[in-house]
Protein backbone atom coordinates (compact mmCIF):
# COMPACT_ATOMS: atom_id res chain seq x y z
CA UNK A 1 0.00 0.00 0.00
CA UNK A 2 2.82 2.41 0.86
CA UNK A 3 4.35 1.93 -2.59
CA UNK A 4 1.04 2.82 -4.20
CA UNK A 5 0.75 5.99 -2.09
CA UNK A 6 4.36 6.88 -2.90
CA UNK A 7 3.78 6.55 -6.66
CA UNK A 8 0.60 8.60 -6.36
CA UNK A 9 2.49 11.26 -4.41
CA UNK A 10 5.26 11.43 -7.00
CA UNK A 11 2.71 11.78 -9.81
CA UNK A 12 0.81 14.53 -7.98
CA UNK A 13 4.00 16.44 -7.17
CA UNK A 14 5.10 16.24 -10.82
CA UNK A 15 1.67 17.48 -11.91
CA UNK A 16 1.88 20.32 -9.39
CA UNK A 17 5.25 21.40 -10.75
CA UNK A 18 3.94 21.35 -14.33
CA UNK A 19 0.84 23.37 -13.37
CA UNK A 20 2.95 25.79 -11.33
CA UNK A 21 5.43 26.42 -14.15
CA UNK A 22 2.58 27.05 -16.60
CA UNK A 23 0.91 29.41 -14.12
CA UNK A 24 4.19 31.22 -13.46
CA UNK A 25 4.70 31.73 -17.18
CA UNK A 26 1.23 33.22 -17.59
CA UNK A 27 1.75 35.38 -14.52
CA UNK A 28 5.14 36.60 -15.79
CA UNK A 29 3.34 37.67 -18.97
CA UNK A 30 0.92 39.80 -16.94
CA UNK A 31 -1.84 37.52 -15.66
CA UNK A 32 -2.42 38.44 -12.02
CA UNK A 33 -3.92 36.28 -9.28
CA UNK A 34 -1.43 33.49 -8.70
CA UNK A 35 0.04 35.14 -5.61
CA UNK A 36 -3.26 36.48 -4.34
CA UNK A 37 -2.20 40.12 -4.19
CA UNK A 38 -5.69 41.26 -5.21
CA UNK A 39 -7.74 38.62 -3.37
CA UNK A 40 -8.87 41.01 -0.62
CA UNK A 41 -10.22 43.47 -3.20
CA UNK A 42 -11.91 40.65 -5.11
CA UNK A 43 -13.54 39.40 -1.90
CA UNK A 44 -15.23 42.80 -1.58
CA UNK A 45 -16.89 42.21 -4.97
CA UNK A 46 -18.84 39.17 -3.80
CA UNK A 47 -19.84 36.71 -6.53
CA UNK A 48 -18.20 38.79 -9.24
CA UNK A 49 -14.94 38.63 -7.30
CA UNK A 50 -15.29 34.85 -7.02
CA UNK A 51 -15.47 34.61 -10.81
CA UNK A 52 -12.34 36.76 -11.14
CA UNK A 53 -10.19 34.64 -8.82
CA UNK A 54 -7.27 32.93 -10.52
CA UNK A 55 -8.23 29.42 -11.65
CA UNK A 56 -4.56 28.48 -11.66
CA UNK A 57 -4.19 29.54 -8.03
CA UNK A 58 -7.40 27.76 -7.03
CA UNK A 59 -6.27 24.56 -8.78
CA UNK A 60 -2.79 24.71 -7.23
CA UNK A 61 -4.18 25.31 -3.75
CA UNK A 62 -6.51 22.31 -4.06
CA UNK A 63 -3.77 20.07 -5.47
CA UNK A 64 -1.34 21.27 -2.81
CA UNK A 65 -3.80 20.36 -0.07
CA UNK A 66 -4.20 16.89 -1.59
CA UNK A 67 -0.42 16.47 -1.73
CA UNK A 68 -0.01 17.60 1.89
CA UNK A 69 -2.65 15.08 3.01
CA UNK A 70 -0.89 12.28 1.17
CA UNK A 71 2.52 13.34 2.52
CA UNK A 72 1.06 13.24 6.03
CA UNK A 73 -0.28 9.71 5.42
CA UNK A 74 3.20 8.66 4.30
CA UNK A 75 4.80 10.15 7.40
CA UNK A 76 6.61 13.09 5.82
CA UNK A 77 7.27 15.77 8.43
CA UNK A 78 8.21 18.49 5.96
CA UNK A 79 5.73 20.09 3.56
CA UNK A 80 5.96 19.90 -0.22
CA UNK A 81 8.50 22.68 -0.91
CA UNK A 82 6.84 24.16 -4.01
CA UNK A 83 3.45 24.39 -2.32
CA UNK A 84 4.92 25.71 0.92
CA UNK A 85 6.66 28.48 -1.02
CA UNK A 86 3.52 29.39 -2.94
CA UNK A 87 1.61 29.62 0.33
CA UNK A 88 4.29 31.87 1.85
CA UNK A 89 4.28 34.10 -1.22
CA UNK A 90 0.49 34.36 -1.17
CA UNK A 91 0.50 35.56 2.44
CA UNK A 92 3.50 37.84 2.48
CA UNK A 93 2.41 40.73 0.27
CA UNK A 94 2.98 44.20 1.66
CA UNK A 95 3.60 47.64 0.18
CA UNK A 96 7.20 46.73 -0.74
CA UNK A 97 6.46 43.36 -2.32
CA UNK A 98 7.23 43.27 -6.06
CA UNK A 99 4.28 42.80 -8.41
CA UNK A 100 3.10 39.33 -9.31
CA UNK A 101 4.69 39.29 -12.79
CA UNK A 102 8.09 40.16 -11.35
CA UNK A 103 7.76 37.52 -8.62
CA UNK A 104 6.77 34.95 -11.23
CA UNK A 105 9.78 35.76 -13.44
CA UNK A 106 12.12 35.48 -10.45
CA UNK A 107 10.70 32.10 -9.46
CA UNK A 108 10.84 30.81 -13.04
CA UNK A 109 14.50 31.84 -13.24
CA UNK A 110 15.21 29.94 -10.03
CA UNK A 111 13.39 26.82 -11.24
CA UNK A 112 15.25 26.81 -14.55
CA UNK A 113 18.70 27.13 -13.00
**Could you read off the pLDDT of 18-64 as tens digits, one per residue?**
999 999 999 999 999 999 888 777 778 787 666 667 899 999 999 99
**Which position has the higher pLDDT, 107 or 2?**
107
pTM of the model: 0.90
Instruction: Tell me how many domains the chain contains.
Output: 1
pLDDT score for 108: 97
Q: Each residue of 89-108: pLDDT tens digit? A: 998 777 788 899 999 999 99
pLDDT at 25: 98
Element (H, E) at 63: helix 55-73
Residue 48: domain span: 2-112
Amino acid sequence: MRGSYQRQLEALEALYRDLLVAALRRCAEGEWGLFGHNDAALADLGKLGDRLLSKAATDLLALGAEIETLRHKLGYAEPFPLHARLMRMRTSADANTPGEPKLARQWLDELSS
